Structure 1
């Protein structure tokens, strides 16, 4: 399906992530907006913002976490229909916000959901991992090194997205943040082809139908040729928001799951371990966490002794390496 001329030069981005994973900050950074709470992170509704970024026309759609297992089927259908209609005729990229200080399970679920809805190319050709919460890294530590050394699970997400990842949390002030946004949009342009699939074709057909109806009502039955480009764009935005639910078979794509349970045992332990290590100096955090994890997986009194030993040895290695470097 062809793209309307008014939107052919516009980059369309869909930002996905759970509450607290940096989605709101990402939208604000891209479009230079105030970090306002009136966003999908808080309202649990899909939102769309248009503007200019690095000399380009950009439309950014932000969506709540409809991909979670605890989402009600009707709510999931409504949210999917909303963000698909707002990003029709198809986004150039899906930006998946992934905190560097959390396990990769939730982000992997999001990629699985995108694959089920739009097909494998939506992930391999149109998705970018957008790392957030990078302030957790040490001052002299680069994201690339951190991922390669400590977070192979996050690298697996990147591999699923065609090797594409980025962060907008540049160190160095507004100038560096502007460069980070420009670099992101360059990556988006390299993707080039908008995500297209039957669901987006259905959405675009409905949007155009609603758009034509609205124009006819406004012009009292006259043809759309009398409408200016600005008016057509405003009517299209209204049409995108009034499409209603699309024909998304959420029951088969997302089969019913067990009722939401308390956080898993391992996840709860991960939260505790990362929590109590925060008060330690940064250089000791990983070594302490490493020892604790060894004790956790070995188990029993021997696990505790082995974990303590591993943590102590790792800390001593870092201490000596630091002294040697001075």
Structure 2
């Protein structure tokens, strides 16, 4: 069918607005619909639908999608974001509007990001795409789109060419006339006509794959959340009313550069966020948070994907220094992870190498803190973890499923939750209990060898036996070794370094004990030998 004279008339038009973060998708959608259907001041973190009527002729449905960071390719975009972008076109839009902000420079790297993200939707996506050029002050600098492309390079020209030369200018500062919107919808009708009257159809296999993944994410997230609750309840039962609370909590923040460690420290201590500066030295800060006296050590970060060998010696020295800054030792090492970008195998390798640098026992005292969870909105942190895949899940497994989330909106309650989890982690490390088998090391191919599953009933039985044995041999343990009042106690966890803690004599038979559990295990063996058990 010819596009001239026989343009297919549409009464209902479905549009999907796609683009990077802060490209103006929300305000463009409001301009098209003629109403405030989308929140302009908030970051779009889920597919949002708006409706409107234009010129008394078209009923328009517009879907705004979450965006990607400007220079990022899909490997660096969160998995849930990519799945939402794919799901946004599942209803078959007549047009995909690729929103580009004309008031900013479109660089070659950003062009590659656009191409690769639209490529997620399938090969024929460009046949159904119109470039929507958002602008506000653009006209003060350039007279035409050609003038813009001539002066700012060929990146935009390349994108427009992939769309068959289709583009439209949209002035979001002037809504006095609907002429520019009517012209856009006429272009949509012409494009549909040139496509044989067809709208965009997502590949059925791709749609089914995404739906299956989303279902698995929800189910696994529920299991992860339930597992954390079961673990907490088991500890509560083990203590049986005994007080596990701490008067003081000492923690160390570690993570890559720009992960937000300093802002996390501000949030924990309840102080206004300071001016953004790079942390180059390990520093300790103190404050009273609810019922706790809190000491926070902020450390320099490593580059996001840097191996331990690539990290400057000064940074490694500051990490080691940070371990000793809050004597007699930290209750927790908190690994700060950004929840606003993808967590990849490269992130995992960097974290694993730098945390392990602090000693083999450090993982038992480590908790993962997912920062900037505003980026995932109402999506649960468990769904984020399951959606990101094996790398992040491996890290959580290494930390025995200890994690917490922070955002800018939840207030002091989220800090209270973090400190309570640290209390329970310390309690768990200070009693004799059965530990799950260690996970296998992450392989170069990016696969994880799962640990052997432990049947729930068997685990419960063995833990019960352990508690009975602990009670039976308690007096024997006391006869074999006298544990100093503070060493290995809940209130004063040991050092992570290889140095002998100051509470032990130089000629002690113990090397650096990682915690109360290691001391008790050693003593239990001696007690059992003395009693003729072994």
Shorter-chain TM-score: what band?
A: 0.5 to 0.7
1:188 corresponds in structure 2 to 188
Q: CA separation in 2, counterparts of 1:258 and 1:180?
A: 46
- The two structures have a TM-score, normalised by structure 1, of 0.52
Q: Is contact 1:61–1:83 with CA below 8 Å preserved after alignment?
A: no
Partner Cα distance (1:34, 1:46) in 2:
16
Are 2:72 and 1:103 aligned?
no
Local SS of the residue matching 2:63: strand
Equivalents in 1 of 2:11, 2:60: separation in Å?
A: 9
- Listed as ranges, the matches of 1:57-96 within 5 Å are 57-66=59-68, 68-69=72-73, 75-76=78-79, 78-96=80-98
**Kindly tell me: are residues 196 and 142 of structure 1, through their superposed partners in 2, closer, same or farther at Cα, counting changes over 3 Å?**
same
Deviation at 1:50, TM superposition (A): 1.9
Q: How does 1:268-287 map to 2 (within 5 A)?
A: none
Root-mean-square deviation over aligned CA pairs:
3.7
Q: Does residue 45 of structure 1 match 2:14?
A: no
Contact in 2 for aligned 1:93/1:188 (Cα 8 Å): yes
Is the CA contact 1:170–1:180 (under 8 Å) kept in the aligned structure 2?
no
- Quick one: distance in 1 between partners of 2:215 and 2:201? 16
Match of 2:123 among 120, 123, 128: 120
Max Rg structure: 2
Q: Residue 80 of structure 1: CA displacement?
A: 4.0
- Distance, in Å, in 2 between the alignment partners of 1:133 and 1:140 is 11
In 2, are the aligned partners of 1:22 and 1:132 still within 8 Å (CA)?
Answer: yes
Cα shift at 1:27:
0.6
User: Could you report, residue by residue, the CA deviation over 1:125-163 in whole angstroms, capped at 9, with x for unpaired residues?
Assistant: 111111123513326723333224443221111111111
Name the CA distance, whole Å, in 2 between partners of 1:258 and 1:167: 40
* Structure 1 contact 96–107 (Cα < 8 Å) conserved: no
> Which whole-Å CA distance do the structure 2 matches of 1:126 and 1:113 have between them?
15
- State the secondary structure of the residue aligned to 2:131: strand
Structure 2: state its 5+ residue gaps.
1-9, 193-197, 218-341, 348-534
CA spacing shift, 1:120–1:140, aligned 2, 3 Å: closer
**Structure number with higher helix proportion:** 1
Distance 2:125 2:138 in 1: 30
1:163 alignment partner in structure 2: 165
Aligned to 2:156: 154
The 8 Å contact of residues 100 and 131 in structure 2, kept in 1 or not, is answered as yes
User: Who is 1:136 aligned against?
Assistant: 138
Distance 1:186 1:247, change over 3 A: farther
2-structure distance, mates of 1:134, 1:102: 14
Q: TM-score, normalised by structure 2?
A: 0.33
- Structure 1 gap segments, 5+ residues each: 1-7, 207-242, 249-253, 260-326
The 3-state SS of whatever aligns with 2:46 is coil
2-side partners of 1:103 and 1:199: how far apart? 33
Partner of 2:430: none
Higher relative contact order (CA 8 A, sep 6+): 1
- SS in structure 2 at match of 1:45: coil
Task: Give distance in 1, aligned partners of 2:346 and 2:157.
Answer: 29
**Alpha carbons 1:22, 1:99 under 8 Å: kept:** yes
Alpha-carbon deviation of 1:167? Answer: 1.6
Q: How does 1:185-224 map to 2 (within 5 A)?
A: 185-192=185-192, 193-199=198-204, 202=207
Question: Residues 10-29 of structure 1 correspond to what in structure 2 (within 5 A)?
Answer: 10-29=12-31
Q: CA deviation at 1:18?
A: 2.4
